[in-house]
Structure 1
Amino acid sequence: MRSLGTRRAALVAGAATVAALALGACSAGQVAETAILDTPIAGVNAASESEAGKVLIRNLQVEYPGIKGYEANGNAPLEVSLFNETNEAVTVTISSQPAADRPDVITARQVGFVSTATVTTPGEVAGASADPSGSASPAASAEPASTVRPAQIKIEAQGSAVFKPTDAATLQAVGLSGELKPGMVVNLVFEFSNNATPLTLQAPVASPLTPAPRGSAEIHEEAAEGGH
């Protein structure tokens, strides 16, 4: 027969075990929820190799353009993060070149930072006051003009550079060799001033943040059903 002290000890131990199991279940639930919320990065990751150290390339991808994609000869905004893990400044130059035996891989005429500025050009405005000779007075008209600066990015020692499609001057693949649609890639070349081996990477078109609407698919399904 157990003493009163022994029975109390057993009850305390049992309560502690139940509490531990309950806490473990709660913890497991939180870990699972965190795993769902923490989505993986969809872009391409790579790193240069040199005696001085690495330059990391993270989350390289093309901004999602919608199901229609980008037109041939158009521009495609890029997203990428660069991290210089060396103890010296490194300049990263990004360009594009055709992929051997890969006609499905799109290239660009140039890779650079595209910014739009409003320029004033002389012109004629309808309804402008006429001079005594009867001709309309010249007036200035404002038109947007895009400028492209080569993608030559200097990153200080142990520094970083992050580029988003929402930047004022966006990093873009300019002059696409063909239509660029979801599921396709752009061939890019990364060169480094510290004599690291150049990297050829294929930037994929990013996935949409929300699923595409099913309106067109539902219409096709109804038409197919009506035809039977």
Structure 2
Amino acid sequence: MRSLGTRRVAQAAGAAMVAVIALAGCSAGQVAETALLKAPVSGLNTQSPDGNLLIRNLQVAYDSPEGYSANGTAPLQVSLFNQTEQPMTVTITSRPQTNVTPGIVSAQQVGVGPLAPSEEPSPSASAAAEPSAPALEPAKFTIPPLGTQTFIPGAGKNLQAVGLSNELKPGFSLSLTIQANDGEAIDVLAPFQTPTSPASRAPGNKDENAESE
């Protein structure tokens, strides 16, 4: 037969175990909720003034830390949602910047078509031998009622900004104007996409650690 002191010790140990299990359950619940959270999207999310057009994940596709050169072509990524029960015609352009703002770039044309080659021409190649940019259709298209239009570089038709006013690289934005039907046009800034993994480091100079003579 257990003594009174022994029973009290056993009861205290049992209560402590229940408390530990309860705390573990709360912690597990918090971790599970955190795991369900999605990673933040680097693109711009906005909408037309009347709310009929939703613009999601608008951004300039990442290519390298150097980005795109002036007069070059940059592919864009975006999803557009028609919130109405009528077809919607959307036009995307880029207005020239009247006031030059550091980090904000415009384009001569925004069009849809084959993806422009990303390779830089060889310095020794003549201008006549350089490949011409692919012909693009104006970025004007119709989204069906309650439908979606998505552009992803390399998948089907590609949305591209041609003739960049300046270099476009990480930390910079592309100035665009989007208009739905005959509604009010909205000016937006498409940010340069954040890479999903860090850029590889350039190989070091083999003599950088050599002792000076």
TM-score (norm 2): 0.75
* Structure 1 residue 29: Cα displacement: 2.2
Match of 1:200 in 2: 187
Cα pair distance change 1:178/1:224, threshold 3 Å: farther
Aligned 8 A contact 2:112 2:158 in 1: yes
Cα deviation 1:75-129 (Å, max 9, x = unaligned)? 100000111112222111000012332343211111111227xxxxxxxxxxxxx
1:132-143 equivalent positions in 2, closer than 5 A: none
- Of 80, 86, 89, which aligns to 2:87? 89
Aligned 8 A contact 2:151 2:157 in 1: no
Match of 2:118 in 1: none
Partner Cα separation in structure 2 for residue 152 and residue 65 of structure 1: 25
Percentage of matched positions with identical amino acids: 37
Aligned 8 A contact 1:90 1:194 in 2: no
Match of 1:170 in 2: 158
* Structure 1 residue 211: Cα displacement: 0.8
- Structure 2 counterpart of 1:46, one-letter code: T
Partner Cα separation in structure 2 for residue 83 and residue 213 of structure 1: 36
Is the partner of 1:213 in helix, strand or coil?
Answer: coil
Cα deviation 1:52-87 (Å, max 9, x = unaligned)? x42110111001120221122211000001111122
Structure 1 or 2, whichever has the larger Rg, is 1
* Structure 1 residue 190: Cα displacement: 0.3
Match of 1:25 in 2: 27
1:47-196 equivalent positions in 2, closer than 5 A: 47-50=47-50, 53-104=51-102, 105-115=104-114, 146-195=134-183
Partner Cα separation in structure 1 for residue 15 and residue 89 of structure 2: 64
1:212 aligns with 2:199: yes
Cα pair distance change 1:22/1:166, threshold 3 Å: same
TM-score (norm 1): 0.71
Match of 1:126 in 2: none
Partner Cα separation in structure 1 for residue 147 and residue 92 of structure 2: 18
Is the partner of 1:26 in helix, strand or coil?
Answer: helix
Aligned 8 A contact 1:87 1:157 in 2: yes
- State which drifts further: 79-88 or 11-20: 11-20
Aligned 8 A contact 2:96 2:108 in 1: no
- Structure 1 counterpart of 2:42, one-letter code: A
Is the partner of 2:40 in helix, strand or coil?
Answer: coil
Which stretches in structure 1 are left out of the alignment for 5+ residues? Answer: 3-8, 117-142
* Structure 1 residue 224: Cα displacement: 9.5
CA RMSD after TM alignment: 3.3
Aligned 8 A contact 2:62 2:192 in 1: yes
Which stretches in structure 2 are left out of the alignment for 5+ residues? Answer: 5-10, 116-130
